[in-house]
Amino acid sequence: MREIIADVLASPIPVIGYVAPSGAHAASAGTYILYATHIAAMAPGTNIGAATPVRLASDTGLPSGTPDKDKKDGDRQGEPKEPWRQRRRMMPSAFIRSLAELRGRNCRLGREGGCVSRHPLCHGALQANVIDLMARDRPSC
């Protein structure tokens, strides 16, 4: 996801993100990528959201999804007292907020609960300034 976003941000020509066909959704990494695009468009009947990151690999050395029972918040060497879990939730929120601000889009949704959690439908996303336009097909973008 970060490599794709880096390519979008470095592109010398505008990149259009388009959520289609009707019934499709941009979720998880797709939400971040759509926020990074120069022009964000959605087809009617689509939605965007659920950008809560899913941990695919563990930075604790434990298999993914395994609780880190031996470490308590703030117990890691050199870590401040602030809970590491809270910081882990804040990083994705800050990332999507920075993408939204870069593109002049609504970043409030990116701050609520650390994720885009409301699943705005295409009309709602347009009204909330999460996307730039609605388009029935690619030529309409």
Mean pLDDT of all residues in the chain? 75
Q: For 39, list phi and psi in degrees, rounded to 5.
A: -130, 125
Of the residues 28, 71, 81, 93, only one is catalytic, namely 28
Of the residues 22, 58, 64, 69, only one is catalytic, namely 69
pTM for the whole structure: 0.68
**Four-residue CA torsion sign, 141, 121, 108, 54:** negative
Note if 71 is an active site residue: no
Q: What is the pLDDT of residues 31-55, one digit of tens each?
A: 899 999 999 999 999 988 766 655 5
Domain locations in the chain as residue ranges: 2-53+80-140
Q: What is the pLDDT of residues 91-117, one digit of tens each?
A: 677 888 889 899 999 876 544 434 444
CATH topology of domain 2-53+80-140: 2-enoyl-CoA Hydratase; Chain A, domain 1 (3.90.226)
